[in-house]
Amino acid sequence: MIKANFIRFSCLWLICFVVTNSLQAQIDSARQKHIVGNDQDSHGCKPSAGYTWSKVLNTCVRVWEAGTRLSPADTSLNKTLVATVIFSPDKKQAEIYVPGIRESILLEGMVNPENIMYWDDGEWMIKINNQIQLFRKGKLLYKSE
């Protein structure tokens, strides 16, 4: 009887030990996955720490630190969401980050007949006229303050 109880107790203890270790391994694995900065995208940027790849700077940036904030100019837009523009060092390109659009948009710099520079891709356009203005299909959506 004592031997049978000992075997049952040993088996029960072994099962508890295995289950506990398995659960602990799952918890440790989950913690590793959710550590801020423990992830990387295809460029090596860490999205969980706020970094994204900038096409014009060719490096990982925090958009709100590297770019210029553009507030909504159109009253139909959510006033709490802003667009951001980052210019290449030579000002030949502008990269825009627009709420609701997953990827940044790259605009090429051009000079109009009045010798004023602007950035355009056919749909989006940036003009600088005492402030940075972002247009979509000719409609002013965002502007710097």
Residue type, 6: F
Q: What mean pLDDT is predicted for residues 98-104?
A: 93
Give me the pLDDT at residue 23, please.
58
| Domain-embedded: residue 112 | yes
Structural domain includes residue 72: yes
Total domains in the fold of the chain:
2
Selected residue with higher pLDDT from 66 and 38: 66
* Confidence grade of residue 113 (pLDDT, cut at 50, 70, 90): confident
Q: How far apart are CA 71 and CA 81, in angstroms?
A: 8
**Same domain, residue pair 72 and 134:** yes
Q: What is the dihedral of CA 56, 60, 64, 67, to 10 degrees?
A: -20
What is the extent of the structural domain holding 80?
Answer: 47-143
For residue 120, pLDDT beyond 90: yes
Residue 75: per-residue pLDDT: 87
Confidence (pLDDT) at 7: 67
Same domain, 13 and 67: no
Average pLDDT over residues 94-105: 95
In a domain, residue 136? The reply is yes
Total count of residues recorded for the chain: 145
Would the CA dihedral through 53, 58, 64, 65 be positive or negative? positive
In a domain, 108, yes or no: yes
